[in-house]
Structure 1
Amino acid sequence: MKDVQGKNVLQYKQKQNLYNAITKSTIYFSGYTWEIKEPSTPVGPGPNYWSGDNVWVDENGWLHLRIRKNPVTNIWECAEVSATTNFGYGTFQWKIDGPLSTLDKNVVLGLFNYSGNDRYDEMDIEFARWGNDAWDILNYTVWPATGSLDTIPGVHTANFTMSGTYSTHRFKRTADSVVFKSMHGFQDDDTYMFENKTFTSPSTSISTLSMPILMNLWLYEGNAPSDGQSVEIVIHEFKYTPL
Structure 2
Amino acid sequence: MPSKPTVQITQVPAANPGGPLELDFIEGRVSGVKPGQQIVLYARSGIWWIQPFGNQPFTKIQPDSTWRNSTHLGTDYAALLVEPGFHPTAKITALPPEGNGVAAIAVSMGKSAAPIVSRVIHFSGYDWGVRNAANDRGGQSNFYDPSNAWTDKNGYLHLRMEEHDGVWTCAEVSLTRSLGYGTYIFVVQDIGHFGPSAALGLFTNDDFRPDDIRSELDIELSRWGIADNKNAQYVVQPFYIPENVSRFMAPAGVLTHMLRWESGRASFKTVRGPVTGPGAATISEHIFTSGIPTPAKETTHIGLYSYRHSTSTSEQPVEVVIEKFEFLP
TM-score normalised over the length of structure 2: 0.59
| Distance in 1 of aligned mates of 2:286 and 2:267 | 6
Could you tell me which amino acid in structure 1 is paired with residue 283 of structure 2? Answer: F
The answer on 1:158 being equivalent to 2:252 is no
5+ long unaligned stretches in structure 1: 1-12, 145-150
User: 1:143: how far off?
Assistant: 1.9
* Residue 15 (structure 1) shift: 4.0
Partner of 2:286: 197
Matched, 1:103 2:191: no
- Give the corresponding residue for 1:4: none
2:293 is paired with a residue whose SS is: coil
* Superposition RMSD in Å: 2.6
CA contact under 8 A between 1:27 and 1:35: conserved in structure 2?
yes
1:103 match: secondary structure: coil
Q: Which secondary structure state, in structure 2, belongs to the residue aligned with residue 53 of structure 1? A: helix
Q: Give me the whole-angstrom Cα distance separating, in 2, the residues matched to 1:58 and 1:96.
A: 15
1:209 aligned partner, one-letter code? P
Partner of residue 7, structure 1: none
Partner of 2:80: none
Looking at structure 1, the residues matched to 236 and 312 of structure 2 have their Cα atoms a distance apart, in angstroms, of 27
5 Å-filtered alignment, 1:70-89, equals 70=164, 73-89=165-181
Contact 1:37–1:80 (8 Å) recurs in 2: yes
Matched, 1:235 2:322: yes
Q: Which runs of 5+ in 2 are unaligned?
A: 1-52, 58-70, 74-116
Contact 2:204-2:300 at 8 Å conserved across structures: yes
> Which residue type is aligned with residue 221 of structure 1?
R
Q: Greater Rg, structure 1 or structure 2?
A: 2
Higher RCO (CA < 8 A, seq sep 6+): 1
CA distance in structure 2 between the aligned counterparts of 1:194 and 1:132, rounded to whole angstroms:
22
Residue 55 of structure 2 contacts residue 136 of structure 2 at CA under 8 Å; is this kept in 1? no
Count of matched residue pairs? 213
| Contact kept? 2:199, 2:304, Cα under 8 Å | yes
Structure 2 CA distance for partners of 1:133 and 1:230, relative to 1, 3 Å? same
The 8 Å contact of residues 142 and 306 in structure 2, kept in 1 or not, is answered as yes
Question: Quick one: distance in 1 between partners of 2:303 and 2:244?
Answer: 21
